[in-house]
Structure 1
Amino acid sequence: MAWRNLVRNRVFSAINISGLAIGLASCMLISLYVIDELSFDRFHEKSGRIFRATFKGTMQGGVINESHAMPPTAAALKADYPEVLEATRLRQGGRPLVLLNGKIYNDEKLAFVDSNFFSVFTLPFIQGNSRNALLEPNTIVLSETTARKYFGKTDVLGRIVTFKDWKQTYRVTGVMKDIPSNSHFRFDLLGSMATLAEAKSTSWMTSEFFTYLVLPEGYDYKKLEAKLPATVDKYISPQLKQSMGVTMAEFRQQGNNLELRLQPLTDIHLHSDFQYDLDANGDITYVYIFGAVALMMLLIACINFMNLSTAGSSKRAREVGVRKVMGSEKSELVWQFLMESTLLTSLALVLAILLAAMALPLFNGLSGKNLSLRWDAVPGLIPSLIGFGLFVGIFAGSYPAFFLSSFKPIAVLKGGASVIKLSSGRSISLRSGLVVFQFIMSIVLIVGTTVVYRQLQFIRNKKLGYNKDQVVVIPSWALGKNTETFRQALMQDSRVERVSLSGYVPAGPSDNNNFTVNPDGQADRIVKTLRYEIDYDYIPTLGMEMARGRNFSKEYGTDSSGIIINETAVRHFGWTPGSALDRIITRNDNAGKKTTYRVIGVVKDFHFRSMHEQIGPLVMTLSNGWGWMMVKTRGAEVSGLLASMKRNWDSFHPDMRFSYTFLDERFNETYKAEQKTGQILGTFAGLTIFVACLGLFGLATFTAEQRTKEIGVRKVLGASVAGIIALLSRDFMKLVLIALMIATPAGWWLMDRWLQEFAYKIDLTWWIFALAGAVAVLVALITISYQSVRAALMNPVQSLRSE
Structure 2
Amino acid sequence: MLRNYLKIAIRNLRKQRGFTFINIFGLATGLACCLLITLYVVDELSFDRFHEKADRIYRINTDIKFGGNDMHMAVSPDPMGPTLLKDYPQVENFVRIHGRGTFLVKQTGQTNSLRENDIMYADSTLFDVFTLPLVVGNAKRALVEPNTVVISESAAKRHFGNQNPIGKTLLFDNAFTYRVTAVMRDMPTNSHFHTDFFVCMRSDNYEWGRWLSNNHQTYILLKEGVDPQRFSQNFETIIQKYVGPQAQEFVGTTIDQLRKSGNRIDYSLIPMPDIHLRSKQNIELAPNSDIQYVYTFSAVAIFILLIACINFMNLSTARSANRAKEVGVRKVLGSVQRQLIGQFMTESVLMAILAMGLALVIVALTLPFFNDISSKQLTIDHLFMPQFLPVLLALPLGVGLLAGSYPAFFLSSFRPISVLKGKINLGLKSAGLRSGLVVFQFMMSVILIVGTMVVYRQINFIQTTKVGFNRNQVLTINEAYALGKQTQAFKDEVRKLPGVTNGSVSGYLPVPSNRSDSPLFPEGQREQSKAVSTQQWGVDYEYIPTLGMELKEGRNFSREFGADSTGIILNETAVKVFGFKDPIGKRVWRMLDDEGKVFKTYTVIGVVKNFHFESLRQNIGSVALMMDPNQGAVSFRLSSQDIPALVKQIEAKWKQMAPGMPFSYSFLDDSFDAMYRAEQRVGQIVLTFSVLAILVACLGLFGLAAFMAEQRTKEIGVRKVLGATTASIVGLLSKDFLRLVLIAILIASPIAWYGMNAWLKDFAYKIDVPWWVFVLAGTVAVFIAFVTVSFQSIKAALMNPVKSLRSE
The corresponding residue for 1:715 is 720
Cα distance in 1, alignment partners of residues 758 and 178 from structure 2:
52
Cα distance in 1, alignment partners of residues 23 and 407 from structure 2:
15
The corresponding residue for 1:230 is 237
Which residue identity does 1:383 align to in structure 2? P
The corresponding residue for 1:490 is 494
After TM superposition, list the pairs within 5 Å mapping 1:720-739 onto structure 2.
720-739=725-744
Cα distance in 2, alignment partners of residues 491 and 765 from structure 1:
46
Cα distance change on mapping 1:17 and 1:671 into 2, 3 Å: same
1:24 counterpart (23, 28, 31): 31
Cα distance in 2, alignment partners of residues 530 and 724 from structure 1:
70
The corresponding residue for 1:796 is 801
After TM superposition, list the pairs within 5 Å mapping 1:182-581 onto structure 2.
182-198=190-206, 200-375=207-382, 378-413=385-420, 415-416=421-422, 418-419=423-424, 421=425, 423-475=426-478, 476-508=480-512, 510=513, 512-524=515-527, 525-576=530-581, 579-581=582-584
Cα distance in 2, alignment partners of residues 580 and 443 from structure 1:
52
Gaps of 5+ in 1: none
- The DSSP-based 3-state class of the residue aligned with 1:521 is coil
Cα distance change on mapping 1:789 and 1:437 into 2, 3 Å: same
Q: How many residue pairs end up in the alignment?
A: 794
Cα distance in 2, alignment partners of residues 685 and 174 from structure 1:
49
Instruction: Using the TM superposition, give the Cα deviation of residue 721 of structure 1 relative to its aligned residue in structure 2, in angstroms.
Output: 1.7
Question: Which has the larger displacement, 328-337 or 386-395?
Answer: 328-337
Cα distance in 2, alignment partners of residues 345 and 68 from structure 1:
51
Cα distance in 1, alignment partners of residues 15 and 663 from structure 2:
66
The corresponding residue for 2:4 is none
Instruction: Using the TM superposition, give the Cα deviation of residue 88 of structure 1 relative to its aligned residue in structure 2, in angstroms.
Output: 1.5
Question: Which has the larger displacement, 538-547 or 585-594?
Answer: 585-594
1:116 and 2:120 correspond: no
Cα distance in 1, alignment partners of residues 762 and 350 from structure 2:
46
TM normalised by structure 1 equals 0.96
The corresponding residue for 1:584 is 587
1:675 and 2:675 correspond: no
Which residue identity does 1:499 align to in structure 2? G
Cα distance change on mapping 1:653 and 1:595 into 2, 3 Å: closer
Cα distance change on mapping 1:4 and 1:368 into 2, 3 Å: same
Q: Please identify runs of 4+ aligned residues in structure 1 that moved more than 6 A.
A: none
Instruction: Using the TM superposition, give the Cα deviation of residue 372 of structure 1 relative to its aligned residue in structure 2, in angstroms.
Output: 1.2
1:151 and 2:160 correspond: yes
Please say if residues 283 and 515 of structure 2, whose CA atoms lie closer than 8 Å, have aligned partners that are also in contact. Answer: no
The corresponding residue for 1:163 is 172
Instruction: Using the TM superposition, give the Cα deviation of residue 658 of structure 1 relative to its aligned residue in structure 2, in angstroms.
Output: 1.4
Question: Which has the larger displacement, 143-152 or 714-723?
Answer: 143-152
Instruction: Using the TM superposition, give the Cα deviation of residue 105 of structure 1 relative to its aligned residue in structure 2, in angstroms.
Output: 2.9
Question: Which has the larger displacement, 517-526 or 730-739?
Answer: 517-526
Instruction: Using the TM superposition, give the Cα deviation of residue 725 of structure 1 relative to its aligned residue in structure 2, in angstroms.
Output: 1.1
Cα distance in 1, alignment partners of residues 384 and 409 from structure 2:
40
The corresponding residue for 2:51 is 44
Instruction: Using the TM superposition, give the Cα deviation of residue 519 of structure 1 relative to its aligned residue in structure 2, in angstroms.
Output: 2.4
Cα distance change on mapping 1:384 and 1:495 into 2, 3 Å: same
Instruction: Using the TM superposition, give the Cα deviation of residue 266 of structure 1 relative to its aligned residue in structure 2, in angstroms.
Output: 1.1
Which residue identity does 1:537 align to in structure 2? E
Cα deviation code 1:141-187 (max 9, x no counterpart):
222222233333485433333435334231x3222221111011211
Gaps of 5+ in 2: 1-7
Which residue identity does 2:611 align to in structure 1? F
Please say if residues 640 and 646 of structure 2, whose CA atoms lie closer than 8 Å, have aligned partners that are also in contact. Answer: no
Please say if residues 534 and 622 of structure 1, whose CA atoms lie closer than 8 Å, have aligned partners that are also in contact. Answer: yes
The corresponding residue for 1:9 is 16
1:97 and 2:104 correspond: yes
Cα deviation code 1:78-103 (max 9, x no counterpart):
11222112121112233333322514
Which residue identity does 1:434 align to in structure 2? L
Please say if residues 529 and 569 of structure 1, whose CA atoms lie closer than 8 Å, have aligned partners that are also in contact. Answer: yes
Please say if residues 521 and 584 of structure 1, whose CA atoms lie closer than 8 Å, have aligned partners that are also in contact. Answer: no
Cα distance in 2, alignment partners of residues 304 and 336 from structure 1:
20
Please say if residues 496 and 634 of structure 1, whose CA atoms lie closer than 8 Å, have aligned partners that are also in contact. Answer: yes
Which residue identity does 1:448 align to in structure 2? G
Cα deviation code 1:460-486 (max 9, x no counterpart):
221111111121112222222222221
Which residue identity does 2:194 align to in structure 1? R
Which residue identity does 1:672 align to in structure 2? R
Instruction: Using the TM superposition, give the Cα deviation of residue 424 of structure 1 relative to its aligned residue in structure 2, in angstroms.
Output: 2.2
Instruction: Using the TM superposition, give the Cα deviation of residue 375 of structure 1 relative to its aligned residue in structure 2, in angstroms.
Output: 4.3
Which residue identity does 2:290 align to in structure 1? D
Please say if residues 61 and 617 of structure 1, whose CA atoms lie closer than 8 Å, have aligned partners that are also in contact. Answer: no
After TM superposition, list the pairs within 5 Å mapping 1:676-691 onto structure 2.
676-691=681-696
1:178 counterpart (155, 180, 186): 186
Which residue identity does 1:165 align to in structure 2? N
- The DSSP-based 3-state class of the residue aligned with 2:288 is coil
Question: Which has the larger displacement, 777-786 or 113-122?
Answer: 113-122
- The DSSP-based 3-state class of the residue aligned with 1:597 is strand
Please say if residues 512 and 531 of structure 1, whose CA atoms lie closer than 8 Å, have aligned partners that are also in contact. Answer: no
Which residue identity does 1:599 align to in structure 2? V
Which residue identity does 2:92 align to in structure 1? L
Please say if residues 56 and 65 of structure 1, whose CA atoms lie closer than 8 Å, have aligned partners that are also in contact. Answer: yes
Cα deviation code 1:30-50 (max 9, x no counterpart):
111111111101111111111
Please say if residues 516 and 535 of structure 2, whose CA atoms lie closer than 8 Å, have aligned partners that are also in contact. Answer: yes
Q: Over aligned residue pairs, what C-alpha RMSD do you find?
A: 1.7
- The DSSP-based 3-state class of the residue aligned with 2:376 is coil
Question: Which has the larger displacement, 342-351 or 589-598?
Answer: 589-598
Please say if residues 713 and 796 of structure 1, whose CA atoms lie closer than 8 Å, have aligned partners that are also in contact. Answer: yes
Please say if residues 523 and 601 of structure 2, whose CA atoms lie closer than 8 Å, have aligned partners that are also in contact. Answer: no
Instruction: Using the TM superposition, give the Cα deviation of residue 711 of structure 1 relative to its aligned residue in structure 2, in angstroms.
Output: 1.0
- The DSSP-based 3-state class of the residue aligned with 1:737 is helix
Instruction: Using the TM superposition, give the Cα deviation of residue 513 of structure 1 relative to its aligned residue in structure 2, in angstroms.
Output: 3.9
Instruction: Using the TM superposition, give the Cα deviation of residue 412 of structure 1 relative to its aligned residue in structure 2, in angstroms.
Output: 1.8
Question: Which has the larger displacement, 677-686 or 153-162?
Answer: 153-162
Cα distance in 1, alignment partners of residues 162 and 225 from structure 2:
42
Cα distance change on mapping 1:527 and 1:377 into 2, 3 Å: farther
Instruction: Using the TM superposition, give the Cα deviation of residue 527 of structure 1 relative to its aligned residue in structure 2, in angstroms.
Output: 1.7
The corresponding residue for 1:603 is 608
Cα distance change on mapping 1:167 and 1:617 into 2, 3 Å: closer
Which residue identity does 2:577 align to in structure 1? H
Cα distance in 1, alignment partners of residues 105 and 766 from structure 2:
45
Please say if residues 154 and 175 of structure 1, whose CA atoms lie closer than 8 Å, have aligned partners that are also in contact. Answer: no
Which residue identity does 1:626 align to in structure 2? Q
Cα distance change on mapping 1:98 and 1:661 into 2, 3 Å: closer
Cα distance in 1, alignment partners of residues 495 and 115 from structure 2:
28
Please say if residues 89 and 210 of structure 1, whose CA atoms lie closer than 8 Å, have aligned partners that are also in contact. Answer: yes
Question: Which has the larger displacement, 4-13 or 95-104?
Answer: 95-104
Which residue identity does 2:303 align to in structure 1? M
After TM superposition, list the pairs within 5 Å mapping 1:689-768 onto structure 2.
689-768=694-773
Please say if residues 513 and 532 of structure 1, whose CA atoms lie closer than 8 Å, have aligned partners that are also in contact. Answer: no
Question: Which has the larger displacement, 653-662 or 149-158?
Answer: 149-158
- The DSSP-based 3-state class of the residue aligned with 2:113 is strand
Please say if residues 738 and 782 of structure 2, whose CA atoms lie closer than 8 Å, have aligned partners that are also in contact. Answer: yes
